Amino acid sequence: MDPIARFTELLERARKTPAIAEPTGMTLSTVGADGRPSARIVLLKGVDSDGLVFFLGAWASEQSAPLRAREDLEKRFAELERKYEGKDIPRPPHWSGYRVAPLVVEFWQNRPARLHQREVYTRKAPGAPWTMTLLNP
């Protein structure tokens, strides 16, 4: 089976599970040439055979810049609400999205006695066929 179809099925199941507040919450990690990893929690906004899509920030927040006081953020939000009331909200200049086309996808399933099920799907390039291999846990 195509791992993207399998992933979509599992995500739908997670969406129907009330205890999972943010079923599309995921950790995005990158690593620099110096070997230092960097991670950010983002929301998965789309998934299909072309890959996984996620975006940045919003109008009201200068993401990750120091905030003097909470009221500054709330004031800015209220101002923007007034400014764009009844209008189409344009895309903020600092806002963009990414699509990751995976070459490797692994599903890890918990099983008793640490005999977990690991299925790894690999492909040579986007659009190429997937191959599934089982891995030792």
Per-residue binding letters, 81-120, with ligand FMN (x by CB under 6 A): ----------------------------------------
Among 3, 52, 54, 59, binds ligand FMN (CB under 6 A): 54
Among 42, 60, 120, 132, binds ligand FMN (CB under 6 A): 42
Q: Is residue 53 a contact partner of residue 98, using CB atoms and an 8 Å limit?
A: yes
Give the neighbor-by-neighbor strand order of the sheet with 131-135: 104-109, 117-122, 131-135
Q: Is residue 76 a contact partner of residue 57, using CB atoms and an 8 Å limit?
A: no
Six-digit token string for 106:
């692994």
| Residue with Cβ nearer ligand FMN (27 or 136) | 27
CB of 116 to ligand FMN, least distance (A): 26
CA of 21: how far to CAs of 15, 25, 49, 119, 130, in Å? 8, 9, 26, 26, 31
Among 64, 109, 110, 136, binds ligand FMN (CB under 6 A): 64
Six-digit token string for 32:
């620099």
Among 10, 13, 20, 25, binds ligand FMN (CB under 6 A): 25
Interface with ligand FMN, residue 121, by CB under 6 A: no
Interface with ligand FMN, residue 53, by CB under 6 A: no
Helices assigned H by DSSP within the chain? 3-15, 70-83
Of 112, 103, 92, residue with least CA distance to 130: 103
Contact residues toward ligand FMN (CB under 6 A) are: 22, 25, 40-43, 54-57, 63-64
